[in-house]
Structure 1
């Protein structure tokens, strides 16, 4: 009986996930606010249905009561996140909130399947991250001098990355972070956000050639520090984000071509300088040939995706434990093995819909600083998604980055939640701008109507003597008024 339920559940979750993904894009075609609210509520229902089905299956497989308690805690977190965001910020983008909760939900399901202890840690960090993220839109909306802190952003970014080189611990051949009070901290995840603010403030203050050279030099210094610590995934993300922001700010394709040329030369240099880069390239070219060595991770990832096929094996029916670091770097492979490639593709499209919303917000913002921030954060997010999924599917060499909001990792999930909160703050600013424009437009129309009425009255007043003059017959003298008798003064 349990096997039948597990088999049916995977098809039901795929149908629900497909419906959710369809709503992510169809909602852009509606202008009616009531219709949009209805579709957004449908998304919430679909998400909670996927959530309860997955945990019901896991409970039937494990028969552990703590899974049900953990499920209820997650329901409280997701429900509180949706309600708090929509009540505290009525103008918030509900689609971004829904997608954020959906990606968190998928991550919690798969992490619970892989490692209950890691799932609990992820839940605690996610709850703290949501609490912090609720404050961020207020900061974005109220603090008007964010564009003036260029030096502060540069110092924070460079010092944080330099600390990793000095006191960082080596993990998989790279220095990624260090421990503080027993907690692993990966500064590069938060530095990506600070770097976007640094570049946006630099371009907002000046677009002179010499200032662009200085900004490029400081951006290159960020990248070089990451290369020195062998965190090549974060270095690549910062490099691409800077090129995109530079092109949008200057509209000079020559800068982009020069950047791509320099990046190509740096990639060749990294290949000959770092052994783990060469091993990843070898694994990418032929993972089966190097199966006993560097190709083992990629080969196991491909086996898992192929085993799951389109519809997946079902929760607890596959072997995602055989995939190295399945809970972090290769979680997409684990999802595809047990929940199906269709489910994985839909999850990827949900990430794409988030990026579409980020671009939509960036294009409609009028302030250059906020526009570049929205563009930079959106590019940072979607490029990290591309690096992760591209690496586990052998489309590109593996870079060791996490899948935002889905993979296990405290620094990753915290930085992504803050990133989404910043986008929400920018969305609220955009709504404020539109409201101010509408108010000014109405005031201008009222002023124009008022001036028109004054002109009409003045014209009528000026026409009165003319009408009186035309009404007298020709040759008739104007009528004299009778003299009033004077009163004697007593």
Structure 2
């Protein structure tokens, strides 16, 4: 019975994801869709999300014989209803397609955390519910603060102090100081600093539209990155650096500055390789993992074995061995998805991430106000770079950096940070209350 259900579900789940992905691609690349057609397509996507979540949960329930899965499914469906109602209540949605993508990614998170570790799945769901409430509160507060770009230095100081606190008191995990622990609760301040960092950079550019904005933002970015390097959190440091580089390019459109910044970043990479042993370890594991499979290359080797074992259609939910991969619920959850749902679903997931990134940038470049255009663009850069770093590390395209897969990997800090960014994207057009409007085409 369970084997038949699992085998049948391999095909049905594949169909749901393919249909969702095809509609995503149509909505991204077909600009002549009228509102009625777009609404119908979005509704079909919503149906695919519900079918995917219900089908996956039923398979896990019968294969694991855990009644908590059905209870969690009911609460998850209620959560998504509340998610949609909240967005429609607090603002006119900028992109229904974007929200469908976010909900599907959260479904992947819920399903695979239930598959890998039920206790963590429950905690992640609680994190999601809390994040939803915090996001609503954050949007309310942002609406009450006129001209928030004026507080850019406050954001910079708070961000740097938070990172310094981690570098001094943080818990060392996998060679880097990443989090602060309070009893059973662990918080990663760098996840929240990503957003304060965006407000700082965007504020500098909008306030000083000349070289001063570039210089002050550059000094602030350098301080953030150096503190992260001191903490050996080089994956996050790379995200911060890339965000500054591309935001400056979006604002000033100067190719020479872009090339200089990329050159400086490359020199920084050489420095990191020379002075940080755990970076050299990851580089060795990347270049030839099988030669050190019993030590440095074990994680990436197990990831590649899992992806290869799954094949095109996957082994089926709860039929693989993803728990052999170290830190699978965080850094390497994409390998677990590839093994049990197959390469086709993995490719579709990459395309869904790509469409999500494009949708975020579409929202950004349609913002009326330059400050939020830059903030949303910066979030799009963070989302894109973090996705590339995670999936690239899992498939051995680049060395592993230890960053999480947005909205899917386990972790409350990462989830809250990403959901806050998404809510800011959705509400960006009605958050800004400063009288002065800046054309989105304006050069800084």
- Normalising by structure 1, we get a TM-score of 0.85
Measured after TM superposition, the shift of residue 31 of structure 1 is 3.7
Distance of 2:142 and 2:18 partners within structure 1: 34
**1:224 Cα shift?**
0.6
CA contact (8 A) 2:25 2:355 kept: yes
CA distance in 1, matches of 2:328, 2:184: 23
Q: Distance in 2 between matches of 1:362 and 1:429?
A: 13
- 1:191-244, Cα deviation, whole Å (9 max, x unpaired): 111111100000111133244223212211110100000000100000000000
Is the Cα–Cα contact under 8 Å of residues 20 and 46 in structure 1 kept in the other structure? yes
C-alpha contact 2:87 2:93 (8 A) present in aligned 1? no
Please list, as runs of the form range in 1=range in 2, the aligned pairs for 1:115-194 lying within 5 A after superposition: 115-194=117-196
Secondary structure at the counterpart of residue 176 of structure 1: strand
**Contact kept in structure 2, 1:384 and 1:404, CA below 8 Å:** yes
Q: Which moved more, 1:124-133 or 1:213-222?
A: 213-222
Q: 2 CA distance for matches of 1:23 and 1:426?
A: 25
Is the partner of 1:394 in helix, strand or coil?
coil
Post-superposition Cα deviations, 1:106-143, rounded to whole Å, max 9, x if no partner, equal 11100000000000010000110012222344444453
Distance 2:239 2:286 in 1: 19
- Assess if the C-alpha contact under 8 Å between 1:59 and 1:67 holds in 2: yes
The Cα of 1:427 is off from its aligned counterpart by 4.5
What residue is the counterpart of 1:255 in the other structure? Answer: 257
CA offsets, 1:382-419, max 9 Å, x none?
A: 11000000000000000000001100011100100101
Instruction: Give the drift of 1:321.
Output: 0.7
**Counterpart for residue 41 of structure 2:** 39
Check conservation: 1:140, 1:426, Cα contact below 8 A.
Answer: no
Range 339-348 or range 274-283, more displaced: 339-348
Cα distance, 1:345 vs structure 2: 1.5
Cα distance in 1, alignment partners of residues 197 and 350 from structure 2:
25
Residues 1:229 and 2:231 are matched in the alignment: yes
Contact 2:93 2:427 in 1 (8 A): no
Contact 2:180 2:188 in 1 (8 A): yes
Matched-pair contact (CA < 8 Å) for 2:155–2:196: yes
Where in structure 2 are the equivalents of 1:311-330 lying within 5 Å? Answer: 311-330=313-332
Partner of 1:375: 377
The more displaced of 129-138 and 92-101 is 129-138
Q: Is the 8 A contact 1:154 1:195 kept in 2?
A: yes
The answer as to whether partners of 1:91 and 1:428 remain within 8 angstroms in 2 is: no
Instruction: List structure 1 segments (4+ residues) > 6 angstroms apart after TM superposition.
Output: none
**For 1:85-124, what aligned pairs fall within 5 Å after superposition?**
85-124=87-126
Q: Which residue number in structure 1 is paired with residue 85 of structure 2? A: 83
Alpha carbon RMSD of aligned pairs, Å?
A: 1.7
Structure 1: stretches of 5+ with no match in the other structure: 438-490
TM superposition score normalised by structure 2: 0.94
Q: How has the CA–CA distance of structure 1 residues 161 and 388 changed in structure 2, closer, same or farther, with 3 Å as cutoff? A: same
What is the CA deviation profile of residues 135-173 of structure 1, one whole-angstrom value per residue up to 9, with x for unaligned ones? 344444453311111111110110010000111010011
Matched with 1:264 is: 266
Alpha-carbon offset, residue 341 of structure 1: 1.3
**Counterpart in 1 of 2:67?**
65
Q: CA shift at 1:311, angstroms? A: 0.7
8 A contact 1:138–1:425 mirrored in 2:
no
Structure 2: distance between partners of 1:358 and 1:67: 32
Equivalent residues of 2:94, 2:363 under 8 A apart: no
Correspondence for 1:337 = 339
Distance 1:58 1:366 in 2: 46
Kept in 1: contact 2:207–2:213 (CA 8 A): no
User: How much does 1:11 deviate?
Assistant: 1.3
Aligned match of 1:240 = 242
Q: 1:462 aligns to what?
A: none
Match of 1:399 among 398, 401, 413: 401
Structure 2 counterpart SS, 1:315:
coil
Gapped runs of 5+ residues in structure 2? 440-444
Counterpart in the other structure of 1:13: 13
The 3-state SS of whatever aligns with 2:216 is: helix
> What is the CA distance between 1:75 and its match in structure 2?
1.2
Q: Deviations over 1:319-341 (max 9, x none)?
A: 00101111110000000000111
| Displacement of 1:182 | 2.8
Structure 2 residue matching 1:134: 3-state secondary structure: helix
What's 2:442 paired with?
Answer: none
Tell which deviates more after alignment, 399-408 or 127-136: 127-136
Count of aligned pairs = 432
Q: Quote the Cα distance in structure 1 between the aligned partners of 2:19 and 2:142.
A: 33
